[in-house]
Amino acid sequence: MTLTPHRSGALLLALSAALFPVLPSPAAASADPGPLRHHRHTAEEITRFLTTFYGKHGPTEQDRALRVSQQLKTKQEHTRDSDVVLCSVSAPREIEVGPATVAPSAGVGWATVTTSWDSGATDTFTAYVRLDSLPIQLDDVICAG
């Protein structure tokens, strides 16, 4: 069987690629690989994120701008009489975030957030995070009452 120059070149290229795989250069190995496209947040990561996001008295304006989904920002635009991120009209005295739960098949994780008020009352709500959000962000909040 006689190979034409075009076919023999393709065969040679395929054979050399199989025998001598391209190894990344040291510079490429140390380069930032970019976003992890298939990373799914763990329960621990979600708990850490929500604890940092809410802090002791609620999220900062910067966190609200950068760490909240567009869906939740739109929800806030349509709910002028209360803060949808905190399920309240004012800042609580203290905030505690419970351990997160993840539902991989639903692609979401959540945690119960408890707010304490100067009156001694407490409220709870559920904060949701999409498991594939990059960067991680608060996706929705469902108030208990």
Give me the amino acid identity at 80: R
Query: Looking at residue 27, what is its pLDDT?
Result: 47
Per the rule left: phi > 0, alpha: psi between -120 and 50, beta: everything else, 98 is beta
User: Do 136 and 129 touch, CB atoms closer than 8 A?
Assistant: yes
Query: Looking at residue 37, what is its pLDDT?
Result: 56
The sign one gets for the Cα dihedral 47, 82, 65, 73 is positive
Is residue 34 very low, low, confident or very high in pLDDT (cuts 50, 70, 90)? low
Going by C-beta distance under 8 Å and a sequence separation of 6 or more, which residues neighbour residue 36? 134
Q: 109: which 2 tokens?
A: 């994780």
Task: Please give the Cα distance from 140 to 69 (Å, whole number).
Answer: 8
Residue 40 has pLDDT above 60, yes or no: yes
Mean pLDDT for 43-71 is 97
Is residue 56 very low, low, confident or very high in pLDDT (cuts 50, 70, 90)? very high
Mean pLDDT for 52-56 is 97
